[in-house]
Structure 1
Amino acid sequence: MAILKHIASKNADYGEAQRYLMFQYNEDTMKPILDENGRLIPREEYYLDGINCDPFTFDMECMELNAQYRKNQRFDEIKSHHYILSFDPKDVTENDLTGERAQQLGLEYARKNFPGHQALVCTHTDGNNKSGNIHVHIVINSLRKYDVERQGFMERPCDSRAGYKHHLTKDYLLYLKQDVMDLCHREQLHQVDLLSPAEKKITDREYHARRRGQKKMDSLNQKMIADGVTPRKTKFETQKDFLRNAIEEAAASVRTQEDFQKILAEKYGISFKVSRGRFSYLHPDRQKFITGRNLGSHYEKDYLLSQWEKNARQEQLRHPDPESPADTSRNTISDELPDFVFIKSDLRLVVDLQLCAKAQQSAAYARKVKLSNLQQMAKTVAYIQEYGYDTEEDLESAWKEAKGQTADMRKALRSTEGKLKQVNEQIHYTGQYLANKSVYRQFVSSRNKKKFRQEHQAELALYEAARKFLKEQSGGGKLPSMKLLKAEKEKLVALKNSQQEAYHNLRDYEKELNTVRTNMETFLGKSHGRQEPEWEASRS
C-alpha cells in the first residue's frame, strides 16, 4: 500500500535535506550518525537524481534562485516541500519492486506533479526502522524556476509561472493522493484508499512518541527482570492509544450514548462530551479534550452511532422483548413507526457541465468536475449493485415506495403535532381553570355578586373562558384531570420525537434514491428534468 506524506519546511539550509538523503540519521533524534572519526556515514543503498538542478549542488542553486526573485528571505516562509512516497514491503517480494524501479516511478511522479521546480528525488530501500519498505523522497524548492504549461490541477494562473511559490491546497493534496493510487494500480502494486479517512489516525508525532516510550519501557523492564521482578506492562501506549482502546471496549457492549459515557467515566476515568455534533474525549491526565477526528474515523459520531444500533439489534435478536399490553404508549409508537434504519451515504448529484457557468469559464474547474462526476458515477453503480436494483423499474419502484412512506410519515407527524397542540391548550386552560376556581366559588357564595364581579372581573373572565373551552373539548362530559393531560402529553412528545427521527430517515432515503436514479439517467444519456422532492416542493 503506497502512502503519501507531506512536510513543509521553513529551514533555510537546503543542504540539510541533501545530507539526510545521502547519509545515515538516527530516526529518533533526527541527528546524523557519525563514525569513530566524527564523519558522516553514507547510506548503504540509495538512488539520487535531480530535476531542473544538479543533485549535489541543489542547495546552492535554490539559494541563487531565491535571491534572484527575492523570495524565501524571511524566517517564517516555507522554503521547501518534502513529499514521501512509501510503498508496501510486500511489493518487494510479490511485485518485484526494486530501488531502481521505485526511483523511476518517483521521477515520473515529480515531473508530472511539480513541473518547473528544482527537485531532489531519492529512493531509500532500507525503510524506516529497518522495516524494509522502499520509499521515495521528493524535496522541491518552494519557488518555481521555469514557466510551464498550465495543468488541470493548477488552481491559479500564477501556478504555472516562474518566480511563484508552490501552492498546496486541500484539493491539490487530494489530487496528489489520487495520482499515487492511479500509479500503483497501473504498476499493479499494493494500494489502499488514500482519500478515505483512516480508521486509526496515527500522526508522525504519535508514532515517534510511541517508539520512544516503548524503548524506554523495554529498558526499564530489562532492569526489573534482572532484579527478579516481573514487569506488569510490556507494551507502551500513548494517551491516544489509551483512549482508542477504552472507546473500542465501551462501544462494543453499549447501546446508547448515556451508557457509553457512563462506562468511559466509571471504568476508565475518561470525560466525554458532544460539541457541535462532534465527539470529544478527555484523558485523565490531560486538560484538553481530543476530538474523535484526531483519533480516527472509528471514534467519531457516525461510526459509533452505527455501532450502537448494531449492538441494539443484536441484543433484540438474542433477547426479544415480550409484548406488554399494559405499556400502551410503547405499543402506540411502535405501531405507527416503520421498522427502518438508514445510514446516509455521501452520494451527490453529478454536475451538468453544459449548465455550469464556472466550468464553462475555467478548463481546470471543468476537469475537476469531470473527475468528481466519475467518482459519483462509480459510487452510484456500487450503490445499485450493493442493494440489488437489477432494473430501472426496480429502482423507480423503490423510490416511489420511499416517497409514499415519507409522505405518510409526514402526515402522521403533523397529526401528532396537532394532537399535541390540543393537549397543550387543554393543559393551559386547565391550569387557568384551577387557578381561578376558588375565586369563582367565592363569587357564587357572595351576597353582592355585582360588586364582587367588579372587584374580580379579570379572574372570573379567565375562569369562565377556561371552563367554556374545556367543556367544548370534552363534549359536555367530565373535564380531564391535569395528571391525565400531562401523561397524555408525555406519550405524544415521545411519539413525536420518534416520528421526527423516522421522517428524517425516510426523507434522506428518498432523496438518496432520487440522486441514484437521476445519476443513472444522466449516465444513460436520457433527458431528465430533476424531480423536486416533495418535502422541498412543500416549502415553496
Structure 2
Amino acid sequence: MAIVKHIKSRNANYSDALDYLIFQHDESTGKMILDEFNRPLRRDELYMDGLNCNPDTFDVECYECNEHFKKNRSKSEIKSHHYIISYDPADAIECDLTGEKAQALSLELAKKIFPGYQALIVTHTDGHNGSGNIHTHIVINSVRKNTVKRESYMTQPHDHEAGYKHRSTNKFLDYFKKEIMDMCIQEGLHQIDLLSPAETKVPQAEYMAQKSGQKKLEEANKKIIADGLKPTATTFQTQKQELRNAIEECSSHSKNFQEFQSLLFEKYQISVIEERGRYRYLHPDRDKRITEKALGTQYGKEHLEQLFLRKNPITILYVRSHLRLVVDLQKNVKAMQSPGYAHRVKISNLQEMANTIIYVQEHGYNTQTELKSAFSESQKQLDQATDQLMEMNADLKSINRQIHYTGQYFAQKAIYTEFLKAKNKGRFRKEHTAEIQAYEEARDWLKSFYPDGKMLPIKTLKEQKASLQEQIDQQKSSIRSLKDLTQDLRTVDKNVEAILHNQVPKKQKTREPEL
C-alpha cells in the first residue's frame, strides 16, 4: 500500500535536506539528535543515490544550477520539492520488501518521473514515529538541469526545457501516483487506489498538529494527576477530527439532511450547509467553514445522501418508473377506427400489465390491500411534506423581513442618533425625513417582533436563512420524489384493478403542479 506525500520547500539551504535524510532528528522539535560528544547521530539504516548529481554534493550542485539559470534568488520562490513514498509495513513481512529493494525501485521510478532534475533518493527503514514502514524520500531541485523529452502531463510549453521550474500540478501528481501503483502491482506489493479521493483525509499539517497537541495534553495531564485529580481528556483531537466524529455520530442517527443538520447543531453546535454541491461545516470555535473535501469523501454530500437513502429511501430519492395506464380499447376512438392501431395498443397493454406485475413483485406487495395502503401512505406523506414546505417558506419570509428591518435599523441609526442630539429637531427631521421615517419604521417593527428587546445579529440571521434555504431545497427534492412515487402507485393500483376485474380503467390526464 504505497502512498505518496508532497512537500514544497522555500528553504534555500539545501544542506538541511541532506542533514535530515542522513542524520537522526527529533520528530517533535525537528532538531538533530546528538551523541555524548555533541556529534549528530547517523540513521541506523539508509540507502542513498543521486540523480544528475553526486548525492554527497547535492546541495552545492543545486546552488550551481540555480546560479547558472539565474533562478531561486528570491525568498518567495520554491527551492525544492520533497516527495515521500511510504510502503505498507506488511510489504516487508509478506512481500520480502527490503530497504535495498525499495531504494532500487524508487531510483528507477525517479529516473522516469524526474528526468533532467537533480534529485536525491534516500530510503529509510525506521518509519515515521517508529512505525517501522519502509519509505523513500525523493528531494529534487525545483529547477530542471537538462532538457528532456516532453511528457503528456506537462501543461506549459517549456516544462521539458532546462532552466524551467518543476510544477507539481494535479495532472503530474495523478501521473506520479499511477506509476507508483503500477510499480507496486508489478512487484506484488500491497497497493490501494491512489487516484480516488481518500475516505478520511488527514494532511501533514493536521497530523503534526495532532501530535503536538497530544504532547501538550499529556504534559498538562501529568500536572493534574500530580495534584491528585483525574484528567477530563487523554486524547487530543484537532477541530477537523472533532468534525469527523460528530458527523459520523449524527449521520448514523439521521434519515435525511434536515435531521442530520438539526442533530449536528443541537449536540455539537456544528453548522452544516450545502454550497455548490458540497457540504460545508462550521466548527463552533472557527469563523471559517471547512469543506467536505478537507475531511474526506466519507463526510461529503454524496456519501451521506447514500447513507440517508438506505435508511429512508422514500423521502430522499425515488427513481420514477415508466409505468403507464393501460388503454380502454372500447372507448378509444382511434383504436375503433384503425385495426392496426388497436393491435399495437393491445400489445402495449400487455406490456404495461406485465410491467405492473413486475413492479408489484419487486416491491413486495402481496395483496391489493397492501398496495392500496402503500398508495394511501404515500399520498399522506406527500401532503405532510407539502405542509412542511409551506411552513418553511413562511419561516423564510419571516427571516427575510427580520434581515430587511434589522439592516434598515442599523443603516439609519447614526442619522437618528444625530437627530436626538440636534438642537433644532424640527429642522433636522425636515432635512432627513426619509431616513428618520425608515429608522422609526424598522424600530417599531423590531420592537413588535422582539418583545424582550434581544435582536439577532445580521450574521446569525443570514446563517439561519442559508440553512433554511438548504432545508427548503431538500424538501422540494423530497416532494418531487414523493410525487413520482404516488403517481406510480396510483397507476399500478388502477392497472391491478383492470387485471383483476378483466377491464381497463379510464385513461386519466393528471398534471401535478410544479414547485
Structure-2 separation of matches of 1:86 and 1:331: 56
Q: Give the counterpart letter for 2:182 in structure 1.
A: D
- Which residue of 1 is the match for residue 133 of structure 2? 133
Q: How many residues align?
A: 342
Deviation at 1:214, TM superposition (A): 1.8
What displacement does 1:498 show?
6.4
Q: Does 1:217 align with 2:217?
A: yes
Residue 13 of structure 2 corresponds to 13
Matched, 1:165 2:203: no
Task: Map 1:46-445 to 2 at 5 A.
Answer: 46-313=46-313, 331=375, 334=378
Decide whether the 8 Å contact of 1:252 with 1:311 is kept in 2.
no
Residues 281-336 of structure 1 deviation map (CA, whole Å, 9 limit, x = unaligned): 111222221111111111111111111111225999xxx99x9x9xx99947948x
Change in CA separation of 1:278 and 1:152 when aligned onto 2, cut-off 3 Å:
closer
User: 1:536 matched to which residue of 2?
Assistant: none
The CA distance in 2 between the partners of 1:256 and 1:284, in whole Å, is 22
Tell me, yes or no, if the aligned pair for 1:253 and 1:311 is still in contact at 8 Å: no
Deviation at 1:51, TM superposition (A): 0.9
8 Å Cα contact 1:333/1:498 also seen in 2: no
CA contact (8 A) 1:150 1:157 kept: no
C-alpha distance in 2 between matches for 1:35 and 1:271: 51
Q: Distance in 2 between matches of 1:223 and 1:498?
A: 55
| Structure 1 stretches lacking a partner, 5+ long | 338-492, 507-540
Structure 2's unaligned 5+ residue stretches are: 317-363, 382-471, 486-515
Match of 1:36 in 2: 36
- Does the 8 A contact of 2:280 with 2:291 survive in 1? yes
- Deviation by residue 1:154-195 (Cα, 9 ceiling, x = unmatched): 334422221222122111111101111111101111111111
| SS in structure 2 at match of 1:166 | coil
C-alpha displacement of 1:216: 2.3
TM-score (norm 1): 0.59
TM-superposed deviation, 1:13: 0.8
Aligned CA distance change for structure 1 residues 255 and 63 (closer, same or farther; 3 Å): same
Q: Shift of the alpha carbon at 1:61?
A: 0.8
Amino acid at match of 2:159: D
31 and 276 in structure 1: CA distance in 2 versus 1, 3 angstrom threshold: same
Q: What root-mean-square deviation, in Å, do the aligned CA atoms of Structure 1 and Structure 2 show? A: 3.3
SS at match of 2:230: coil
The AA in structure 2 aligned to 1:141 is N
Q: Which moved more, 1:58-67 or 1:33-42?
A: 33-42
Q: Is the alpha carbon distance of 1:201 and 1:3 closer, same or farther for their aligned partners in structure 2, counting shifts above 3 Å?
A: same
Structure 1 residue 219: Cα displacement: 2.9
Given that 1:244 and 1:295 are in contact with CA atoms closer than 8 Å, whether structure 2 keeps it comes out as: yes
Partners of 1:49 and 1:55 within 8 A in 2: yes
Compared CA separation, residues 505 and 18, structure 1 to 2 (3 A)? farther
In structure 2, C-alpha distance between the alignment counterparts of 1:69 and 1:166, rounded to whole Å: 14
Deviations 1:204-237 (A, max 9, x none): 1111111122222233334444444333322221
**Distance across 2 between alignment mates of 1:276 and 1:314:** 25
- Contact 2:224/2:230, CA 8 A, preserved across alignment: yes
Distance in 2 (alpha carbons) for counterparts of 1:55 and 1:21? 11
Inter-partner Cα distance in structure 2 for 1:208 and 1:115 = 32
* Residue type of the alignment partner of 2:197: P
User: What is the alpha-carbon distance in structure 1 between the residues aligned to residue 8 and residue 253 of structure 2?
Assistant: 42
Q: Does structure 1 conserve the Cα–Cα contact (< 8 Å) formed by 2:315 and 2:478?
A: no
TM-score, length-scaled by structure 2: 0.61
User: What is the identity, as a one-letter code, of the residue corresponding to 2:98?
Assistant: T
Separation in structure 1 between the aligned mates of residue 478 and residue 205 of structure 2, nearest angstrom: 46
Could you tell me which residue of structure 2 aligns to residue 424 of structure 1? none
Q: Confirm or deny: 8 A CA contact 1:243 1:283 kept in the other structure.
A: yes
Following superposition, the deviation at residue 123 of structure 1 comes to 0.4
**Contact in 1 for aligned 2:315/2:481 (Cα 8 Å):** no
CA distance in 2, matches of 1:65, 1:278: 45
Q: 1:303 to 1:505 in 2, by over 3 A?
A: farther
Mapped to 2, the partners of 1:181 and 1:503 lie a distance apart of 45
